[in-house]
Structure formats: C-alpha cells, structure tokens
Amino acid sequence: MVELVARTPCAGLLPLRVGAVLLDEVAPGALTSVSPYKGQAEALSKVLQAAHGMGFPAPSRATGDRQARAIWFGHGQAMLVGPAPDPALADHAALTDQSDAWAAVRLHGPGAEDVLARLVPVDLRAGSFPEGHSMRSLLFHMTASITRIEDGAFLILAFRSMAATLVHDLQTAMEAVAARG
C-alpha cells in the first residue's frame, strides 16, 4: 500500500520574509462555499449565527474570527472558513466542499499595504479597507479573495493550482517594496 503524504498548497514555498513584510501559509481548516437559495438569505444568516457564531456577510465584508469565518465571496456567495458546516445550513443554501481547493496565505507587517498596492487595483489601505472588510478582485493576473483580518493582516485566498504563481507574484512585489527602503 502506498503511503500518501498530505502537502499543503504552498509547501516548500513559505514562509517568506522580505524586509519587514512577512508571508505565511495558513491552515484554514474546512472551506465550504455557501450560496443562499432565493429568498433564504435571512433565514440562512440566523442558522449560521446559531451554528457558527456569525451572520452571513454583507457584500465586501467578512464576519467571524480565527475559529470560524464567513467571507463574502461574490454575488450571492460566502465562504465558510474553519469548521465543518452545520447540516442545518443545507436547508437554506447550496453548500459545496472546497477544502484543499484554495491556497490560503497571510500577508502582514509594515509595508504589506504597499505590496498589495503593486498588485491589486483597489485601495486596501486601512482608511478605506479596515478590519472586517473583504473583496474579490485581481491579484496581478489572477482573481483572489482578500480580507483584512486581525492585527491588520491580510488573508489572501487564491486557486490552489495557482499557489506557486501567487507566492511568486507576492514575492516579486515584496522585493520591489523592500528595495525602495
């Protein structure tokens, strides 16, 4: 019998420190996309609150904390990050297991905003993108989900198949920011 070893999406690539900016891989736990059925958004939010402790996020927002997050993930969709989804959620929403399908990294340290400013066409400075805000946009050439989480850090989710590109693009921007001193 072959012994299979689990590899994280960014295994061998992270962690990375360039200047004062740090990039770590995050083990997000289970990832489940949650899409409320028509007219069920409010009922779903109540079930989500009771089961996992946070409501369904408004557009461009994230709810929850380190243990369990609900990140707005697009039109009529959120990503439940952390716990296995409560079965009661399925009464109000389409659930899809996306665990292991996304690379999750955390970018933090002074200058993290400058790094993202080189890659993302959205203002991610704290003034317009404080903790609890989230967005879908482009990170250089690929789509990504970026959320401002605790301690001013950014949680970035991108397709697992693009993990090496994600790290490469971030590293290039980190080096460019560090080179400016």
Q: Return the range that interacts with other proteins (CB under 8 A); candidates 16-24, 104-112, 137-145, 156-164.
A: 137-145
- 122 lines the binding site for other proteins (CB under 8 A): yes
- 74 lines the binding site for other proteins (CB under 8 A): yes
Residues 6+ apart with CB under 8 A from 31: 79, 80, 81, 97, 98, 99, 100, 101, 102
User: How far apart are the C-alpha atoms of 86 and 8, rounded to whole Å?
Assistant: 25
Residues 6+ apart with CB under 8 A from 108: 21, 22, 24, 151, 152, 153, 154
Kindly tell me which of 77 and 98 has the beta carbon lying closer to other proteins: 77
Residues 6+ apart with CB under 8 A from 95: 32, 33, 34, 85, 89
Q: Return the range that interacts with other proteins (CB under 8 A); candidates 7-15, 26-34, 71-79, 155-163.
A: 71-79
- 143 lines the binding site for other proteins (CB under 8 A): yes
Kindly tell me which of 51 and 142 has the beta carbon lying closer to other proteins: 142
Q: Return the range that interacts with other proteins (CB under 8 A); candidates 92-100, 110-118, 135-143, 146-154.
A: 135-143
Using CB under 8 A, list all residues that contact other proteins.
Answer: 59-60, 74-75, 77, 121-122, 135-138, 143
